Structure 1
Amino acid sequence: MSKLMDPNIEDRNMNAEKELGWGKSLPVPSVQEMVKNDSEGVPERYIKEYQDWPIDSTFSPNMFDNIPVINFALLVSGDGDELNKLDSACKEWGFFQLINHGVEVEVLSNMKAAVAAFFYLPLEDKKNYAMAENDIQGYGQVHVVSEHQKLDWCDMSFLITQPPEYRNFKFWPTTLPGFKEAVDEYSKEVEKVSVEICECLSRLMGLDKHGLKRLHGVMKQSMRLNYYPRCSRPDLVLGVSPHSDGGSITFLLQDDEITALQIKYKERWLPVKPIPNALVVNVGDALEAWSNGVYRSIEHRAVTNTKKERISIATFVLPDEGAQIGPVESMMVDRPRLYRNVKFLDYLKQLLDKKLDGKSHTSFLKLEKEL
């Protein structure tokens, strides 16, 4: 019997999700609703400590252009120069923008429209997809571990998207026209791109073509759907606090018109100006560990603005819960081991059990506290 016809598959999926135990987060108010009710107010709990204020930096225009841009079509055709650019981008920046990635503009537009439609639903409707008490999937917030910590100026929904049998549709607004179809199509397209990127990185890491994919075990994918309301005091709040991503690779689909993503480069926050229809790609902690620190997961954050709301979709490529993350032999030939072997689920649990705090959580991976 096919999976689509199996009457027990929904029960199996829900049981599997209960067993994941990735983490949980305290419930918090909707920022979107808060702004609807009072567009000028900024509650104290959202005002960051002074040292964390997103003070406007005076970047020269050409600094925007320094963030590497990788041509995916050239990369997968075997172009040596583009492969070297990928290597350099992951070593020095941990971030790059990916153009000519083959994901149709219509697929990107449908994904953005589906996420916007979800956040435009009445609050009571969105609450139907709220996170369970013991889960991080669904509508709510993550990394809220204390009633006293400062909060981010953002609403979000978190979904597991690939492989399809790991989806838990009780957290999906499947009655929203086009939502499931848009997410399904976009997630499949990003999966194709992620496999190709992993094959290129495998070559650079001295592995066989499928080496990095094999390290993942079951290569999984999740999405964080973000809604950032406009804010009357963007100098006092953050859309997302500084952090690095726990998975192997992240793909960000962002608003083409608003520059909000910033990466920490040489101790300065550098804005990532959107390239229309490009995907922003960054190294995650798992890839940093596998590469023995040669490829680096970089702190990044999102700022807000006074004029317009913003939507973004972060797609995380994740190892299987039982996969080991730690240096591969080929990355320790000319470099001492800097990371220990850790089961990915153990790493994920300790990451999700903390508030976002830069890269402090990566000390769990390292043999030494600092590289």
Structure 2
Amino acid sequence: MAMEDKTDEIINRTEYGGSIPVDNVQALASKDLKDVPVRYIRQEIQSEEILADESLQIPVINISKLTIAGQPGYDDELVKLHVACRDWGFFQLINHGISEAIDAMKMVTEEFFKLPLEEKMKYAQLPNTIEGYGQAFVVSEEQKLDWGDMLFLLALPIALRNLTFWPQNPPSFRETFDEYSNKLYGVSMKLFKLICTNLGVESDAICKMFEGCTQGIRMNYYPPCPEARKVLGLAPHSDATALTLLVQVNEVQGLQIKKNSKWVPIKPVSQSIIVNIGDVMEIMSNGEYSSIEHRAVVNFEKERLSIAAFHTPSLGAIIGPLPELVKDKTPKYKTIDMEDYLKLIINSKLDGKCLIDHMKIQ
């Protein structure tokens, strides 16, 4: 089947599953709670070790040094990128050239979450959809809930856009979101080409899979919580996608990554994009690069906002180790078509690296 036909087939399908509706956390937090509902309490996290060593920070990559091969600093920065992908799974990208689009997106995101609940609920998730305002990955009535709300929208490919979920308030939201989506896609494609160079494969090996990529953008709102040390804004997980590009909207920190079985807080560099390797990239690189567990914690007194953009291969793609990387090696991961992989993502709760474990060849 041609990729265009496969895409059309998937676009016409709606029964992929979705998240069970839950209470709005922002509204819950506004009630001046003395006791947080038990479904949000995670007793196990109180005993987990958090490293407060300020010197232990994820690598910072200057993408302006990586624009032209052979220019001063190119080779050194390329090595830094390879080490960041291999040993950390996370890095901060600076001098990316899209600060104006980021600042505009931050502004409309803050404005959206300040709207009255009834206004935000105009864009609420519907059954069997993943888009809209609510929570994601709630698959049972018993599972623990995250202390946070989100607005998730599919931005690319354009044929997948459902404007029903795109806010018209603030008035500049749609135009700003479209611009932000396009700029981030451009940055992601530059990174994919550089990753191909570092993996020693032809640039088309990865880039062709992302020419019609699926890009989902998630705007996160984490209200303050009186029992902040007992809840999580986002449960520990690795991203199921290939590359995630995240920006922090305000100055409240909350992102933590798991390094050597301990949680390391990430202090964002001003105007940076935080990039992380997802499960798809781990699979495609046959384990050369590894996705990493991360989570979001919340603050006692202040709200935290962030915007994460997830990039996955086009809907007609096949997910598996790149053939060039397993010519002389045993594949470590299964091969699966994108449709089945997408269903696997949507119908799973966030739980460490359970998805990548499912994809490993035992």
Query: For this structure pair, what is the TM-score category when the shorter chain's length is used for normalisation?
Result: over 0.9
Q: Could you tell me which amino acid in structure 2 is paired with residue 312 of structure 1?
A: S
Structure 2 equivalent of residue 255 of structure 1: 249
Q: Name 1:299's counterpart in structure 2.
A: 293
Deviation of 1:255 (Å): 3.5
Mapping for residues 48-197 of structure 1, pairs under 5 Å: 48=42, 50-53=43-46, 55=48, 57-63=50-56, 65=57, 67-78=58-69, 79-104=74-99, 106-197=100-191
1:138·1:158 contact (CA, 8 Å) conserved in 2?
A: yes
Using the aligned pairs only, state the percent identity.
43
Measure the CA separation in 1 of the matches of 2:107 and 2:11.
27
Counterpart AA for 1:76: T
- Counterpart CA distance in 1 for 2:289 and 2:304 is 30
Alignment of 1:267-282 (within 5 A): 267-282=261-276
1:263-309 Cα offsets, whole Å, 9 max, x none, are 11111111110111100000111111110011111110000011210
Structure 2: state its 5+ residue gaps: 1-6
Letter in 2 for 1:97: Q
Residue 40 of structure 1: how far off its partner (Å): 3.8
The residue number in structure 2 matching 1:10 is none
- Structure 1 runs (4+) deviating above 4 angstroms are 13-18
Once the two structures are superposed, residues 175-208 of structure 1 have per-residue CA deviations (whole angstroms, 9 ceiling, x without a partner) of 4211111111111111110110011111122222
- Cα deviation, 1:240-275, whole Å, max 9, x if unaligned, reads 000111111000011352221001111111111011
Task: Count the aligned residue pairs.
Answer: 352
| Residue type of the alignment partner of 1:77 | I
Shift of the alpha carbon at 1:39? 4.2
Structure 1 unaligned residues grouped into runs of 5+: 1-12
Q: Which amino acid aligns with 2:81?
A: L
Looking at structure 2, the residues matched to 340 and 56 of structure 1 have their Cα atoms a distance apart, in angstroms, of 34
- Structure 1 residues 128 and 100: alpha-carbon distance in aligned structure 2, compared to 1, 3 A threshold: same
Residue number in structure 1 paired with 2:351:
357
Structure 1 contact 246–348 (Cα < 8 Å) conserved: no
Task: Write the distance in 1 (CA, Å) between the matches of 2:9 and 2:203.
Answer: 34
Q: Give the Cα separation in 2 of the matches to 1:331 and 1:54.
A: 40
Give how far 1:212 is off.
0.8
Partner Cα separation in structure 2 for residue 361 and residue 211 of structure 1: 23
Whole-angstrom distance in 2 between the partners of 1:83 and 1:157: 35
Deviation at 1:91, TM superposition (A): 0.6
After TM superposition, give the deviation of residue 351 of structure 1 in Å: 2.3
SS of residue matched to 1:308:
coil
Q: Is the 8 A contact 1:228 1:239 kept in 2?
A: yes
- Compute the displacement of 1:365 (Å): 1.3
Q: Matched residues in 2 for 1:323 and 1:20: separation?
A: 19
**Structure 1 Cα separation of the partners of residues 246 and 327 of structure 2:** 33
Match of residue 218 from structure 1: 212
Q: Tell me, yes or no, if the aligned pair for 2:213 and 2:315 is still in contact at 8 Å.
A: no
Q: Is the 8 A contact 1:256 1:277 kept in 2?
A: no
User: 1:323 matched to which residue of 2?
Assistant: 317
